[in-house]
Amino acid sequence: MAMKVLGSGAEATIFLDEEKGVKRVIKERVPKAYRLPQLDEELRRTRTRREANILRKLPIPGPRLFETDDRSRIAMEFVEGMQVKKLLDKDASIARLIGERLARLHDADIIHGDLTTSNMIMRERELLFIDFGLSFTSKEVEDKAVDIHLFRQALESKHFRVQERAYEEFLRGYGSSRHAPRVLDRLKLVERRGRNKAKW
């Protein structure tokens, strides 16, 4: 089976490949002509290694890492299932599971960085996070609060009909994090800053 392009973003091209009956996602970070070649190579290498390392130590369900060249290419499991963006409006209670998953991620000091319902898959009754291309490790309460802030913005943008109920469910799930009180307290400051910027 020839590789099929699944998508292309600002940073990488995503392919679907099948080897010995196993579907794999191949993520290739492409060179950027506007960057100095040496800088471009270093950035692609650093980001590829960081993403691979996070996939190796995920404390929650997510795509298995198969291999990486440590330069620009990652091969990982193709996660079958339904995107949560197609399900949440019909069942806002899914957001509680999202909160529980993020709590475990943050307790392992992993920041997702792009927490939208497009990057979540329901496989039978199991919720998986995908696309860790912008992820990084951090112990900072601020980074964890920003992760939640971005998720809340995604609810407001894509799931406005159920956003209040979904966010309440999310908070119930996230409450299982040992960092929850501090992170949610910092979140108030993050959101206040966001509102102030919007006024300008």
- Residues identified as active-site: 114
C-beta separation of 14 from 33 below 8 A: no
Sheet holding 65-68, edge to edge: 4-8, 12-19, 22-29, 73-77, 65-68
C-beta separation of 184 from 108 below 8 A: no
Amino acid identity at 129: F
| Strand runs labelled E in 38-102 | 65-68, 73-77, 82-83
For residue 82, what is the DSSP state?
A: E
C-beta separation of 47 from 61 below 8 A: no
